[in-house]
Amino acid sequence: MNEQTHINSQKNFETGDIILKQGDKGDVAYIIEEGEIEVLLEGADGTSQLVAKRGPGTIIGEMAIIDDQSRIATVRATQPCKMLEISRKDFARRLNSADPVLQMITKVILTRYRDTLARVGVLGESPTYPPPEMMEREAVGHENAVHKIKTANDFKQAMEQEQLQLHYQPILSFKTKKVVGFEALMRWPQEDGSMISPAVFIPVAEESGLIIDASKWALKEACLTLKRLERDLAAAGQQPESPLFMSVNFSALDFAEENFTDTLYDTLSTTDIKPQQIRLEITESLLMQDPEQAKNTLNMCKQAGLKISIDDFGTGYSSLSYLHSFPIDTIKIDRSFVCRMVDEANSKALVNSLIALATSLNMATVAEGVENEAEAELLTNMGCDMVQGFFYCKPMDETRLSEWLKQQ
Ligand code: C2E
Ligand code: CA
Ligand code: CA
């Protein structure tokens, strides 16, 4: 489905139609293109009071799509109307990808406006109405927001100052015990030499929308590294049997970008990397957020020759048979199953059947987070194709990786 279809769909209303109903939950706002409407406040006694009339170029229903509260008034068409619909889902996507300060201010303005309406009696007077400061803190989750805004601003600055790094963890074939590819993992070094974990900054980058630029950077950097590694290995006379691949992690926001695939193809061509060498790592939850859109994007990627991996497999709620409707090449079995496998018969049976089912569906399997020989042996016997874990190698920067590869 094209993004545009659910962003700006057109709606027509006849004279007298109720467009929004006071008290209802609101999933859409409308921009009036043609026609005229009236805004009515309905009293508990059945009376209704005209509070405004609006015409072309104005917007109605915008409050509910920001904070998901009920409609405060009824809107009725007084002429035939042509409207452009803005869905709450689309608005949330735009707001969530906006600067965190912008997000906070938007929500605060709305909270204060609702508070004012309540105080002047428009929303029904209530003597126990909470003070606006309290509502605002609740609305924006004050402390949390401040922390997130700080982290997001620092992250943005780190990106601008080119401080982000990628580390690479080798992925090996179980059969040959040789390196077949790598996973690129983002690192944010601090002034004191420590690293902030991606488990901390990736969610902030996702919420603030900064992940989109970070992912673009990561893809390009990973491609450039892969190219340099190939050259190094060739110069050392150690060309691999088949081209090495690079796995890059992507988030739902990346997939929601209209020009996601164009940027991807551009990067591949400017860095001279074959599409077959790049694996997009995405989670089940990304697929479930907007399955139709994900399927379209993945189909385009697949047609261009890219490979698709499902990350952290088993931690989501989808079944492999459902996932089969997406063009998936590889599933990565989550570390939480791998690490319990040796001691727990249930986890072992689960991993075993996952591998068997994936294999029968022509998907390759990667075991994540393998830390010891016992796990590696079990997985080999189960027919797992590839492995990634501290037992073989920790993620490392390009320089160390290049040295490590030459010693293999
Ligand atoms: P992930 O995609 O599941 O990446 C694998 C994580 O497992 C990495 O953690 C890796 O260092 C760790 N790992 C690998 N082998 C072992 C092992 O044997 N034992 C243990 N205990 N851990 C192992 P890392 O680098 O801290 O990344 C955490 C998560 O952050 C990633 O999980 C991924 O979800 C996210 N992330 C990292 N880089 C990126 C990125 O560039 N973009 C996006 N969207 N997410 C990223
Ligand atoms: Ca991953
Ligand atoms: Ca994973």
Give tens-digit pLDDT for 156-186: 999 999 999 999 999 999 999 999 999 999 9
Interval between CA 185 and ligand 1 midpoint (Å):
6
pLDDT higher than threshold 70 for residue 126: no
Please give the pLDDT value at position 9. 83
Please give the pLDDT value at position 5. 38
Interval between CA 154 and ligand 1 midpoint (Å):
21
Interval between CA 332 and ligand 3 midpoint (Å):
7
- With cut-offs at 50, 70 and 90, classify the pLDDT of residue 199: very high
Q: Could you tell me if the CB of 186 is within 6 A of ligand 1?
A: yes
Give the residue, out of 164, 168, 185, with the most ligand 1 atoms within 8 A of its beta carbon, to mutate for a pocket test: 185
Q: Could you tell me if the CB of 396 is within 6 A of ligand 1?
A: no
Please give the pLDDT value at position 115. 81
pLDDT higher than threshold 70 for residue 348: yes
**Contact at 8 Å (CB) between 355 and 378?**
no
Give the tens place of pLDDT for each residue, 22-75: 999 889 999 999 999 999 999 888 888 998 999 999 999 999 888 888 898 999
- With cut-offs at 50, 70 and 90, classify the pLDDT of residue 134: low
Find the mean pLDDT for residues 123-131: 54
Q: Could you tell me if the CB of 141 is within 6 A of ligand 1?
A: no
188 burial type by CB count under 10 A (0-12 exposed, 13-18 middle, 19+ buried): buried
pLDDT higher than threshold 90 for residue 408: no
For atom 41 of ligand 1, the residue with the nearest CA is 186
Retrieve residue 182's tokens.
């790598």
In the chain, what percentage of residues exceed pLDDT 70? 92
Between 98 and 142, where is the model more confident? Answer: 98
Please give the pLDDT value at position 230. 95
What's the pTM value of the predicted model, to 2 decimals? 0.75
- With cut-offs at 50, 70 and 90, classify the pLDDT of residue 2: very low
Most confident by average pLDDT, 87-96, 122-131, 286-295? 286-295
pLDDT higher than threshold 80 for residue 3: no
For atom 35 of ligand 1, the residue with the nearest CA is 198
Give the tens place of pLDDT for each residue, 265-278: 999 999 999 999 99
Give the residue, out of 197, 202, 392, with the most ligand 1 atoms within 8 A of its beta carbon, to mutate for a pocket test: 202
* Mean pLDDT (the chain, rounded): 89
Find the mean pLDDT for residues 7-32: 91
Give the tens place of pLDDT for each residue, 228-261: 999 999 999 988 889 999 999 999 999 888 899 9
HEC states along the chain? Answer: CCHHHHHCCEEEECCCCEEECCCCECCEEEEEEECCEEEEEECCCCCEEEEEEECCCCEECHHHHHHCCECCCEEEECCCEEEEEEEHHHHHHHHHCCCHHHHHHHHHHHHHHHHHHHHCCCCCCCCCCCCHHHHHHHHHCHHHHHHHHHHHHHHHHHHHCCCCEEEEEEEEECCCCCEEEEEEEEEEECCCCCEECHHHHHHHHHHHCCHHHHHHHHHHHHHHHHHHHHHHHHHCCCCCCCCCEEEEECCHHHHHCCCHHHHHHHHHHHHCCCHHHEEEEEEHHHHHHCHHHHHHHHHHHHHCCCEEEEEEECCCCCCHHHHCCCCCCEEEECHHHHCCCCCCHHHHHHHHHHHHHHHHCCCEEEECCCCCHHHHHHHHHHCCCEECCCCCCCCECHHHHHHHHHHC
Give the tens place of pLDDT for each residue, 375-407: 999 999 999 999 999 999 999 999 999 999 988
Please give the pLDDT value at position 30. 94
